[in-house]
Amino acid sequence: MRLIKLILIVLLPIQLMASHIVGGEIYYDCLGDEAYRVTVKVYRDCNSNGADFDAPLFLGVFKKSDRSLVKVEHIDYPGSEVLPVIFSNPCVSAPTDICVQEAVYTKVIKLPPIPGGYILSYERCCRGPEIANLNNPGDQGLTLTTEVPGTDSGITCNSSPRFTNYPPLLLCNNEPLIFDHSAIDPDGDELVYELSTPLHGGSIADPRPSPPNNPPFNTVNWENGFNANEPFSPSGPISIDPTTGQLKAAPDLIGKFVVGVTVKEYRNGILIGSTQRDFLFTVFNCIISVNAEIVDQESLNTFNSFCDGLTINFENNSHGGDIYKWDFGVPGDPNATSSEREPSYTFPGPGEYTVTMIINPGWACSDTSIEVFKVYESLDIFFEPQAPQCIIDNSFDFIGTGDYNTGATFLWEFGNSANPSTQNTENASNVVFDSAGTHPVTFTVNWNDCESTYTDSVIVHQAPTIGFEVLPGLYCAPQKVQFIDSSQADVDIDYLWYFGDGTSSTQQNPTHIYENPGVYDVLLEISTKTGCVGTLSLNKPGIIEVFPSPTAAFTVYPQELTVFDSEVQITDQSTDSEEHYYQLTPDLDTTERDLKFHFIEGGHHRLYQVVTNEYGCVDTAYRTVYVRPHTTYYVPNAFTPNGDKINDVFIPIVHDVTEYEFEIYNRWGEVIFKTTNTEEGWEGRYKSQPSPDGVYLWKIKYVNHFQIGEEHQGSFSLIR
């Protein structure tokens, strides 16, 4: 390959995420009766965040004679498809982020015959900023144009030429390209090809002008050193055969390059029109890198063992090829070859085999890898796991087995808490562990270049411990006590509790009721039948002290009365008590031992007494009094809400009612206060403002103690 110019590699790094418009072409077909079907092909980079396809596309129609605008045709967006990236060199890894979309716009338009004919054009900005052969390419767009002959040419219905193939999207740097860039003409006209400078169109400020700009059209601004006939620079030749349209190129720079090709249409030796195509080549370094690599046997096996059986699943770390030829080194076996990338093969027996793999066999970019594989049957080693033992006086023996013969070497690994921690005999004996828990044991065998490992574990039980507690607090007979076990063992524990009052339990965390006062010893015995077998006991003298409780009792006389004669006598009859407390109503209590009390409300009243003795033990007694209800109410005739806390609230006194409702009206009949609470009154305010002095009306509704509804009303005075 020729040397790449390093300075241009630095200045023009290939960026394979092109953006925006990348080319296009325009052609037409005459349908007769002045109708023409116009086709506009537009290409853009689908990895771009830039311009999307136009919806609609603006097609300009101009008179060729004076370049004046005739009309603008709007062509609907037809959708797009991604062009295939055709790159078939198997020895080169092509870029994966090349993506070009094609949108083919078509529309039938009317073009009445005129002298000189028409020019059709489409403008769009902008091209990608990474194009190497344009000056400020991100500011330059494209114009696609073609010509329709006029009546002075003697041609009344012409169809323009159209290119057959789209150029390849990818080119190898310093590799020649030969491409058929020919066009076909529906009328059979003579076609002549030439390289041309692509046309500029649109701007960043107006990327899709409507109407398009009038001809003549501006050309793109080439970067220094580039032009229409040298779009890859003078050192990268390109040419097109004017008769056949065969395009030859040999770029020697990497990057993106705009190329223009014009096809001219002649009939009877007279030029009747021309059509230009504008496209983009991406040139990259096609570094041929081929490497054959069979993954070696030691890397294949997790435990560095050759004894995994006769079947090997081969792994392939090769790159740069698509065709593989494997030979597993077994002469006479027609199945000892494969064309898969990563085949699997079962060898006929134990031994050493030379395995060969060739990638791209017969090509210039071929490579070979050879590895020797040793195959043996599995050692299939094993040892029986040992039964758990107690930490006290533990001693373990292990017997190893497997498919190995004389000459095998052994390694037992028991961990740092074992004595000994390793042994190198087939069978291991008298292994003592100095800590409780689960201990892994590993048995490794090496034989005939094979290695196999088997791991199991043994369990060493911790010696049991005994303990228990009770919840702290004051214990008063009869007392329920919760016992909390804190014993520990690695196996199941059997429990036996002695509570000191002649009773016992086998629960782990029992509860027990001490009926009588006294001081009690508690004894716990635990036993284990597996692991560390044995029995432990723990006695806690005097851990439970139960104090005597007082007895609450009182009388209420009479227990049934009326609201007109509602006084009762309460007499204490408790024993062994020092402090007394009565709850007479939800809002009233007393510490008197004997007293008289008047009930105001009718109904059932539940009284209770709480007594406490010298130890702090308590007892409670309950009594019920029934006061036969009688509905009564009283409504004052005036109040003085002046803030002196005397008669500041207007509130009725009502007893033994339900469904109570109390309302106050001003002199206009407006409700200014309302409540359903017999304990709530009016403070002489309405809408947060003091109400004026004067006479107000009240109304009371309720259901009496006979469950009969009543309604009362009257008036009162507000005096400040």
- pLDDT tens for 139-177 read 999 999 999 999 998 898 999 999 999 888 888 887 788
**pLDDT confidence of residue 5:** 30
CA gap 632, 652 in Å, rounded: 10
Helix (H), strand (E) at residue 575: none
Cβ within 8 Å of residue 702, ≥6 positions away: 631, 633, 654, 657, 658, 659, 660, 661, 709, 710
What domains are defined for the chain? 17-284 (no CATH), 297-375 (2.60.40.10), 382-461 (2.60.40.10), 468-546 (2.60.40.10), 554-628 (2.60.40.10), 632-718 (2.60.40.1220)
Reported as a pLDDT band with limits 50, 70 and 90, residue 553 is very high
- pLDDT tens for 554-581 read 999 999 888 778 899 999 999 999 999 9
- Of 113-117, 325-329, 623-627, 628-632, least confident by mean pLDDT is 628-632
**pLDDT confidence of residue 2:** 32
Q: Enumerate helices (H) and strands (E) in the chain, giving the number of each.
A: 2, 56
- Of 34-38, 93-97, 249-253, least confident by mean pLDDT is 93-97
CA gap 673, 682 in Å, rounded: 7
How many C-beta neighbours within 10 Å does residue 336 have? 17
Reported as a pLDDT band with limits 50, 70 and 90, residue 1 is very low
CA gap 570, 554 in Å, rounded: 7
- pLDDT tens for 417-467 read 999 999 999 999 999 999 999 999 999 999 877 888 999 999 999 999 999
Q: What are phi and psi of 151, to 5 degrees?
A: -65, -25
Contact 519, 552 (CB under 8 A): no
- pLDDT tens for 688-700 read 999 999 999 999 9
CA gap 163, 30 in Å, rounded: 17
Reported as a pLDDT band with limits 50, 70 and 90, residue 600 is confident
Q: What is the mean pLDDT of residues 377-401?
A: 93
Q: Which pair of structure tokens corresponds to residue 339?
A: 């064309």
Task: Tell me the three-class secondary structure of 319-332, residue by residue.
Answer: ECCCCEEEECCCCC
Q: Which of 246, 53, 247, 216 is nearest to 145 (CA)?
A: 216
Q: Which of 698, 719, 697 is nearest to 633 (CA)?
A: 698
Instruction: Give one DSSP letter per residue of 335-362, joined into a string.
Output: TSEE-SSS-EEE-SSSEEEEEEEEESTT
Binning the chain into helix, strand and coil, the percentages to the nearest 5 are 0, 50, 50
**pLDDT confidence of residue 349:** 87
CA gap 61, 148 in Å, rounded: 10
Collapsing DSSP states into helix, strand and coil, what is residue 299?
helix
Task: Tell me the three-class secondary structure of 588-600, residue by residue.
Answer: EEECCCCEEEECC
Query: Does the structure show a pLDDT above 90 at 344?
Result: yes
Helix (H), strand (E) at residue 7: helix 6-11
